[in-house]
Amino acid sequence: MTQLMTLILLFATSCFALADEKSAHAMHEADVFIDGSAIDIDSDQLERFTADLQGGQVAVVSVMGMVCDFCARGIEKTFKRDKSVIKVDVDLAKGKVLIAFASTAPIDREAIDRKILANGQNVTAVQILSI
């Protein structure tokens, strides 16, 4: 009986959560463009992330396999060791990592690939946004 109740609880919770997720997506959906191309990112999060930046660049990295907060911790720690990186944020829903670089010098995209791979995930795209 206890097991049956637990199963029902899990199923019901899941249904409610799926409904919440759909409405949350609708609220934050907005187009963000880099070099004329739309990128799938939460515009509110990007706005908060860039609000205090004075110049530099933001790399928007699309990552496969970044399914949990715990998995993404290593990505943040790895990039924060890089002195050219000002800050890092993660959008778990979209599978994006936002990396703010202080300099306007060209960003080493292969280095980004290597650092993400060192955490066990894969990069599918890197888009650069100038601030």
Choice between 36 and 52, CB closer to other proteins: 52
Q: Three-state SS for 117?
A: helix
Long-range contacts at 18-27 (CB < 8 A, ≥ 24 apart): 25/93
**Is residue 110 at the binding interface for other proteins, with CB under 8 A as the rule?**
no
Residue 118, H or E segment: helix 109-118
**Residue whose token pair is 């880099």:** 34
Calpha distance 66→90 (Å, rounded): 9
**Is residue 17 at the binding interface for other proteins, with CB under 8 A as the rule?**
yes
CB of 37 to other proteins, least distance (A): 18
CB of 70 to other proteins, least distance (A): 5
Do residues 83 and 123 make contact, with C-beta atoms less than 8 angstroms apart? Answer: no
b or e along 110-120 (b: 16 or more beta carbons within 10 Å of the residue's beta carbon)? eebeebbeebe
Choice between 55 and 65, CB closer to other proteins: 65
Q: Mask: binding to other proteins, 44-83, rule CB under 8 A, as x and -?
A: --------------------xx-xxxxxxxxx-xx-----
Write out the residues near other proteins by the rule CB under 8 A. Answer: 2-3, 6-7, 9-11, 13-14, 16-18, 20-21, 24, 64-65, 67-75, 77-78, 89-93, 95, 117-122, 124
